Structure 1
Amino acid sequence: MAELTKKGIGGFLARQGILVAFVIFMVGFALANQRFLAMDNIFGVIRSSAILGVMALGVTFVVIGGNLDLSVGSMMSFSTIVVLDLHDKIGPTLAIPAMFGLTLLLGAFIGFLVGYLKLNSLIVTLGMLSAIHGLTLTWSGGKNMDIADKQGTWFSIFGQGDIVGIPMPIIIFGLLALVLGLILSKTPFGRKIYAVGGNGQAATFSGIPRARVVFFTYLVSAFCVATAGLLQASRSLGSQNTVGQGYELEVLAMVILGGASLLGGSGTILKTLIGVLIFGFIENGLLLVGLEFYVQDIVVWAVIILAVWLDIAAKRGRLWSPIA
């Protein structure tokens, strides 16, 4: 009976441990600083998390499909720089679709390499991380980008505007999450992604076009990255050419925190939203209690390790294995 109870507790923590840790963090931060649960702070956290959250939505598709995408940070830098540069050259009306088109081309290239040529997604996207960073520096000439007329452009509406008091980044994040959540849970394409990620060989034998499914997951990811780049550029109306550097690990941590398995075949958009909020509130809480921003890097590392451990533990039903 004691052994059964022990396994039950271990199994529960393996499945829901990150949520338990989140509740403990929330209670601790609320006790340490009264501003933590204030509505303006909550809105501020969600708004600041929206850009990474949008990227996490796309990466969720890739991870459920059994692959990784470590290029999203450099791709987001590329999208931001491109739309800012084209804004002054051809105007925002043409700059936005042009930026989306170029970003989707990068996603299509990655999807082709991973899906149709069946190259390892870790190696491909790690290589593309450096390649796209070089492309961004080439496009910008190594310089940062700024919009010349910041007062006379409607472009700022995406990052700075609001509807009935709700910031536009939160609205865009929410609408995109709703649409992608419905696609993933209610359409044949969504079911095919789960099948490919769960058992790619079995999916192929069942007649599912595995290569095409993987290809389109990277297109979804690229679309989300382009949206994040639009939000970033619109919010600041200027950007460094390394604005997305390091985001790939944070985005992946959010997705894994939400319950998506690195082994593929499991995860939901709703759980990714939870992972985004967990990450955002933990970072905010650390700042409110007076810890320096660089402490967040240590927390990111610890959270990634914890998330991967709980992911593996959930698969085997216990926190640790008696087999060395």
Structure 2
Amino acid sequence: MASMSKADIGRILARQGILIAFAVFIIGFTLANERFLSPDNVMGVIRSSAILGVMALGVTFVVISGNLDLSVGSMMSFSTIVVLDLHDKIGPALAIPAMFAMTLCLGAFIGFLVGYLKLNSLIVTLGMLSAIHGLTLTYSGGQNMDIVDKEGTWFGVFGQGSALGIPVPILIFVALAALLGIVLAKTPFGRKVYAVGGNGTAATFSGIKRARVVFLCYVMSAFCVATAGLIQASRSLGSQNTVGQGLELDVLAAVILGGASLLGGSGTIFKTVIGVLILGFIQNGLLLVGLQFYVQFVVTWVIIILAVWLDIAAKRGKLWSNIA
């Protein structure tokens, strides 16, 4: 009976290791500062994490399919600058779909290179990171963008509005997470994504069109990036042309922190959301305990490594690998 009990505990740890780590972080920061779990602080953290979270949802599909996307930061800068620029030229009603169309074209191009031409996703997206950054600077003329008539536009609703007392960015994040969670877990396309990431060769021989699945994953990632760019532009009604610089690493960290494997074939939308919240609450908790920003980078890195290590250790039932 005792051995069965230990086995049951091991299975629980294997399935919920990241959630347990999240709970430990919450308890620790709550003990350090009583304001940490106040409703205003919790709502503020989730709202500030919404942009990163929306981007991470799309990248989850890419990672599960066995690929990487390091271009999302630069692509978000591009989306933000484009929609702000077009807002004053053609109005928000046309600027938003135009921005989405342009961003989806970038995602489709990356998907074509990785999916159909079978180029290495790390090399392609790393190159596109620089290329899209250059495209953004060229488009903006190296200038930041601001909406001229900030008082007379409804565009701010996506980043500044609220419904039923809940900020709109949170509602967008939750709705998109629910939708993509269903797509990944309950649809044939979701099963194909897992199959392609788990064993691409076997998936091809079983009749799955691998190139199309990879292509669609990058298009989906671009759609999420465009949504994040819309929220970012709407929140401040202006932006620097490097607003997304460096976010690709935070996005990837959130996805991996949520349990998705860099080798592909595993991960869920729900755990990606948990990974996003872990990053958000860690950074907020460190701020509340009074650490300097440069110390926060180091501590955040250590906590992320520990969380991932504990999650992997729980899955294999031991802290150390058999291979020394």
Please tell me whether the aligned partners of residues 62 and 69 of structure 2 are also in contact (alpha carbons under 8 angstroms).
yes
Q: Secondary structure at the match of 1:155?
A: coil
Measured in 2, the distance between the counterparts of 1:76 and 1:152 equals: 25
Please tell me whether the aligned partners of residues 13 and 315 of structure 2 are also in contact (alpha carbons under 8 angstroms).
no
Please tell me whether the aligned partners of residues 256 and 262 of structure 2 are also in contact (alpha carbons under 8 angstroms).
yes
- The alpha-carbon deviation at position 297 of structure 1 amounts to 2.2
For residue 290 of structure 2, what is the aligned residue in structure 1? 290
Please tell me whether the aligned partners of residues 63 and 261 of structure 1 are also in contact (alpha carbons under 8 angstroms).
yes
Residue 186 of structure 1 pairs with residue 186 of structure 2: yes
Q: Secondary structure at the match of 2:245?
A: coil
Please tell me whether the aligned partners of residues 60 and 272 of structure 2 are also in contact (alpha carbons under 8 angstroms).
yes
Please tell me whether the aligned partners of residues 69 and 125 of structure 1 are also in contact (alpha carbons under 8 angstroms).
yes
Q: Which amino acid aligns with 2:279?
A: F
Please tell me whether the aligned partners of residues 159 and 169 of structure 2 are also in contact (alpha carbons under 8 angstroms).
yes
Measured in 2, the distance between the counterparts of 1:109 and 1:174 equals: 28
Change in Cα spacing, 1:277 to 1:290, as seen in structure 2 (3 Å) is same
Q: Secondary structure at the match of 1:122?
A: helix
Change in Cα spacing, 1:100 to 1:189, as seen in structure 2 (3 Å) is same
Residue 93 of structure 1 pairs with residue 102 of structure 2: no
For residue 154 of structure 1, what is the aligned residue in structure 2? 154
Change in Cα spacing, 1:11 to 1:155, as seen in structure 2 (3 Å) is same
Please tell me whether the aligned partners of residues 10 and 314 of structure 2 are also in contact (alpha carbons under 8 angstroms).
no
- What's the % identity of the aligned pairs? 80
Q: Which amino acid aligns with 2:270?
A: L
Change in Cα spacing, 1:186 to 1:11, as seen in structure 2 (3 Å) is closer
Change in Cα spacing, 1:197 to 1:52, as seen in structure 2 (3 Å) is same
Change in Cα spacing, 1:21 to 1:185, as seen in structure 2 (3 Å) is closer
Q: Which amino acid aligns with 2:290?
A: G
For residue 56 of structure 1, what is the aligned residue in structure 2? 56
Q: Which amino acid aligns with 1:23?
A: A
For residue 105 of structure 1, what is the aligned residue in structure 2? 105
- The alpha-carbon deviation at position 24 of structure 1 amounts to 2.3
Measured in 1, the distance between the counterparts of 2:123 and 2:313 equals: 26
Change in Cα spacing, 1:7 to 1:321, as seen in structure 2 (3 Å) is farther
> What do the CA deviations read for 1:171-214 (whole angstroms, capped 9, x no partner)?
11111111111111111101100100110000000000000000
Matched ranges for 1:144-223 at <5 A: 144-223=144-223
TM-score w.r.t. structure 1 length? 0.93
Please tell me whether the aligned partners of residues 256 and 311 of structure 1 are also in contact (alpha carbons under 8 angstroms).
no
Measured in 1, the distance between the counterparts of 2:84 and 2:293 equals: 28
For residue 255 of structure 2, what is the aligned residue in structure 1? 255
Please tell me whether the aligned partners of residues 254 and 279 of structure 1 are also in contact (alpha carbons under 8 angstroms).
yes
Q: Secondary structure at the match of 2:155?
A: helix
For residue 265 of structure 2, what is the aligned residue in structure 1? 265
Q: Which amino acid aligns with 1:173?
A: F
Change in Cα spacing, 1:183 to 1:7, as seen in structure 2 (3 Å) is closer
Greater Cα shift, 33-42 or 305-314: 305-314
Q: Which amino acid aligns with 1:112?
A: F
Q: Which amino acid aligns with 2:291?
A: L
For residue 20 of structure 1, what is the aligned residue in structure 2? 20
Q: Secondary structure at the match of 2:152?
A: coil
Measured in 1, the distance between the counterparts of 2:15 and 2:90 equals: 51
Please tell me whether the aligned partners of residues 11 and 319 of structure 1 are also in contact (alpha carbons under 8 angstroms).
no
Number of residue pairs matched by the alignment? 324
> What do the CA deviations read for 1:269-309 (whole angstroms, capped 9, x no partner)?
11111111111111111111111223332234334544554
- The alpha-carbon deviation at position 318 of structure 1 amounts to 3.4
Please tell me whether the aligned partners of residues 256 and 307 of structure 1 are also in contact (alpha carbons under 8 angstroms).
no
Please tell me whether the aligned partners of residues 51 and 169 of structure 1 are also in contact (alpha carbons under 8 angstroms).
yes
TM-score w.r.t. structure 2 length? 0.93
Measured in 2, the distance between the counterparts of 1:3 and 1:132 equals: 56
Measured in 2, the distance between the counterparts of 1:18 and 1:60 equals: 16
> What do the CA deviations read for 1:79-111 (whole angstroms, capped 9, x no partner)?
001100111111111110010001000000110
Q: Secondary structure at the match of 1:28?
A: helix
Q: Which amino acid aligns with 1:253?
A: A
Measured in 2, the distance between the counterparts of 1:85 and 1:165 equals: 30
For residue 71 of structure 1, what is the aligned residue in structure 2? 71
Q: Which amino acid aligns with 2:90?
A: I
Please tell me whether the aligned partners of residues 282 and 300 of structure 2 are also in contact (alpha carbons under 8 angstroms).
no
> What do the CA deviations read for 1:105-160 (whole angstroms, capped 9, x no partner)?
00001101110111111111111111111111111111111111111100000000
Superposition CA RMSD, Å: 2.3
Measured in 2, the distance between the counterparts of 1:114 and 1:102 equals: 19
